[in-house]
Amino acid sequence: MGQILLVRHGQASFGAEDYDALSSLGFEQGKLLGTALAARGIAVDAVVHGTMRRHRETAEACAAAAGWDLPPTVDPGWDEFDFLSVLAAHPPTHEGEPTKAEFQRWFEEATAAWIGGATGGGAESFAGFTARVSDALARTTELAAGGRTVAVFTSGGPVGWAVAEVLSPGGDADLWTRLNRMAVNAALTRLVTGRRGLNLLSYNDQSHLEGVPGAVTYR
């Protein structure tokens, strides 16, 4: 069977001028994953990541720690949706700088409106996002044919949609929302592909982060 390792990026620089850059903890999370994969004897035949800086930096940190020396393939299909445009199209009800709880409520309300068809500021539609990720998943599945293992470094949104599509053919927006809500930075999701198609082996595994104080983060 072929295997696809879907990795959400490490912690980005939330609130900084360049959100897309990994924080120091984000780099450490990537290294912890790579070290854990090497300890399990998991090697890969191909590395794929989206176009975002946080994808590339997580891939580099993980690969260096795992001892993988492979030129990565860049696939924009694995990019995250433009959540800033989605938020901008749905003004918040709170005032001033939001607390973590206020931001989460705003994010969920904005994405619910986006799923329902609301767009603004040239943002990609939810239908466009899911079709793009489904296409990327199909390309990656082909790459994993013949018993190959492919590591994909992406974001929580694409990981959630890939899993939702595997569990509910055609995808399920409500399932995607629930999966996306609990996505952990640098978490590992494993899919296997073979005669029975594409199946989920594990979702959002964070065991490599356990025991390291403060290593489990969501944003």
Residue 175 lies in a domain: yes
Cα gap 143→137, rounded to integer Å: 10
> Mean pLDDT, to the nearest integer, of 57-77?
97
Q: How many structural domains are present in the chain? A: 2
Residue 216 lies in a domain: no
Are 72 and 91 found together in one domain?
no
Cα gap 151→128, rounded to integer Å: 24
Are 132 and 68 found together in one domain?
yes
- pLDDT band at 212, cuts 50/70/90? very high
Q: What is the pLDDT of residues 134-188, one digit of tens each?
A: 999 999 999 999 999 999 999 999 999 999 999 998 889 999 999 998 999 999 9
Residue 110 lies in a domain: yes
CB proximity list for 159: less than 8 A, separation 6 or greater: 6, 8, 179, 183, 189
Q: Which pLDDT belongs to residue 120?
A: 61
Nearest CA to 115 out of 101, 104, 102, 129 is that of: 129
Residue 142 lies in a domain: yes
The tokens for 143 are 């790459």
Residue 115 lies in a domain: yes
Given 66, 100, 123, the domain boundary residue is: 123
Cα gap 142→98, rounded to integer Å: 43
The tokens for 140 are 């990656």
Check if the beta carbon of residue 110 is closer than 8 Å to that of residue 90.
yes
Residue listed under structure tokens 């879907």 = 6
Are 77 and 177 found together in one domain?
yes
Are 76 and 90 found together in one domain?
no
Are 57 and 159 found together in one domain?
yes
Buried b (16+ CB within 10 A) or exposed e, 148-165: bbbbbbbbbbbbbbbbbb
- Other beta carbons within 10 angstroms of residue 105's beta carbon come to 15
Are 76 and 88 found together in one domain?
no
Are 130 and 169 found together in one domain?
yes
Are 88 and 66 found together in one domain?
no
Given 69, 101, 123, the domain boundary residue is: 123
Are 137 and 35 found together in one domain?
yes
Q: Is the pLDDT of residue 213 over 90?
A: yes
Are 118 and 153 found together in one domain?
no
Given 104, 123, 142, the domain boundary residue is: 123
Residue 217 lies in a domain: no
Q: What is the pLDDT of residues 74-91, one digit of tens each?
A: 999 999 998 888 888 888
Q: For the CA atoms of the chain, what is the radius of gyration?
A: 17
Nearest CA to 38 out of 66, 58, 60 is that of: 66
- pLDDT band at 18, cuts 50/70/90? low
Cα gap 138→140, rounded to integer Å: 5
CATH of the domain at 162: 3.40.50.1240
Cα gap 87→114, rounded to integer Å: 9
The tokens for 57 are 């930096």
Are 59 and 130 found together in one domain?
yes
Are 137 and 99 found together in one domain?
no
Residue 214 lies in a domain: no
Cα gap 186→155, rounded to integer Å: 9
What domain range includes position 93? 83-123
